[in-house]
Amino acid sequence: MTNVGPDTQDLYQERPDPKDPRRFEYQGAFEPAQVTIEQIKVKDAPTVKLQVVETRHGPIITPVVEGLKETLALRWTALDPGHLIDALYHLDLASNWQEFRDALSQWDVPGQNFVYADVNGHIGYQATGKIPIRPGGANAGDTPQPGWDGQHEWQGYIPFELLPASFDPPSGVIVTANQRIVDSYPYKISNEFDPGFRAQRIQQLLAAVDKLTPDDMNRIQMDVVDLSAAPFLSFLRSLPVKSDRAKRAQQLLRDWDGSMRADAAAPAIYWSWQLHMSDRVFHDKLGDDLYRDFLGEASFEALYDMVRNPDNGWFVVLADPLHHGRDDLAALALEDALTELEQRLGPDTSTWQWGKLHTVSFPHPIGEVLPMIFNIGPFPNGGSFYTVDNGPFDPTQPYAQTAHPSMRMVVDLSDLEATRVIYATGQSGQPFSPHWGDLTPLWLTGGYVKLRFATARQGSLEGTLSFKAR
């Protein structure tokens, strides 16, 4: 399973009745909103009561969004009654492709990519989700729409039978990594698909082996080569630079294959340069607030498209027009990056490692109070935004990892008893359990444990957890 990333939210501008703010205009008349009081109990404190006002489009979110003055309602499929539990139940009972699809026809929120395989050698793919059909083109719903004229209402949902699916494709391969599902499609699914570097890398690795083994699949899951780095490295390696430290950094980049290994220096140089290049190119033109929202995958992917044109109009410093062009700004950003890394990692580049900056942690909900007791980590870790072993970070607070594979699994349908699995932490969610975090060392190094299916193995279970209704 991976996320389809469908666009299932719209904002509607609402016009309240000047005489009664609980009524809202729709097609020339005012209709009453639904008003409910939500009570949130707080330990050792009075119950907090929140008034929720819902129009035909959804709850008014203005009171809970800081700085928002316009009256906006949120239309979101997740706020509708769903059938997820029914889908899960029937999915657990499915024994063939048709029963698998029948179960997923009830899967409404969140939209997911499902892959299928069975012991008879069949494979399949099915997109799921309750995805609205909107009036207008591909950008419909991207900005708040008038909620009073009736011209922007959803026109139902994409029928399950028309959602992208595949069964036994001629290639014999199905890859899903949040990328665009199909090139051409009559309905809008999303405008924010993953750019596809991870999917491309998986395809490369699969094509490189004639007959795949479980060990090959392990290796693919742990791969940290970032294909998005290629167009940047092609000019960074030959960039005219002046300082000795920039020349040393350039040599490290020349010897580098784009692998975001935790023990390598080049990824640290590359990602620090990416942040400073984004700052040089976009910050002065967007302003602080918009730049802060734009920084990250949006800015990296914009640069990816721009760097092939060295004279792109964005490559200029507004306050100093003498600095312009891709190579000029890139050289300045490289110096910025090296200054940052010297401050963070010291002046000796031989000791620089990506994992000293890029760390992964597994925080407990109350870990902010006692992090040493309740949190697991931090640990040095490889990867980046666009690697198969995914490792994005918050660019406004670099470089701690913000997401990771929560579980890895390799299944050989000819030998289910050899199924391999690993969680990022452990089997227990209790911090004082011996199984709280005991799998993390294996997860970090690409190890696995066997997942036994045979009922005969149940005798070796350590314990049983029972849920009893009161």
- 431: Cα separation from own chain's centroid: 27
Cα 91 from Cα 77, distance rounded (Å) = 21
Give per-residue pLDDT as tens, 295-327: 999 999 999 999 999 999 999 989 888 888 999
The stretch 238-251 carries a mean pLDDT of 96
Residue showing tokens 């004639």: 210
- Of 132-136, 151-155, 402-406, 458-462, minimum mean pLDDT range: 458-462
* Highest mean pLDDT of the ranges 127-131, 449-453, 458-462: 127-131
Query: What is the predicted pLDDT for the residue at 459?
Result: 65
Q: Which CATH superfamily is domain 81-193 in?
A: Aminohydrolase, N-terminal nucleophile (Ntn) domain (3.60.20.10)
Q: Looking at the predicted structure, is the pLDDT value of residue 457 above 70?
A: no
The DSSP letter of residue 378 is E
Q: Is 300 exposed, middle or buried (0-12, 13-18, 19+ CB in 10 A)?
A: buried
| The two structure tokens encoding residue 400 | 């701690």
Cα end-to-end span (Å), the chain = 34
Mean pLDDT score of the chain: 95
Q: What is the pLDDT of residue 182?
A: 92
Strands in 45-55's sheet, in edge-to-edge order, are 34-42, 45-55, 58-59
pLDDT score recorded for residue 369: 87
**Domain map (residue ranges) of the chain:** 9-77, 81-193, 195-403, 406-470
Looking at residue 400, what is its pLDDT?
96
pLDDT tens digits, 159-210: 999 999 999 999 999 999 999 999 889 999 999 999 999 999 999 999 999 9
Around Cβ 311, how many Cβ atoms within 10 Å? 9
In CATH, the number for domain 9-77 is: 2.30.120.10
Residue 456: pLDDT over 70: no
Q: Note the pLDDT of residue 323.
A: 83
Residue 447: other Cβ atoms inside 10 A: 14
Confidence at residue 455, expressed as pLDDT on a 0 to 100 scale: 61
The better pLDDT of the pair 67, 350 is held by 350
**386 confidence band (pLDDT: 50, 70, 90):** very high
Query: What percentage of the chain exceeds 70 in pLDDT?
Result: 99
195-403 has which fold?
1.10.1400
- Residues 52-63: tens digit of each pLDDT: 999 999 999 998
DSSP single-letter state for residue 465: -
Can you tell me the distance from the alpha carbon of 182 to that of 196, in angstroms, rounded to the nearest whole number? Answer: 12
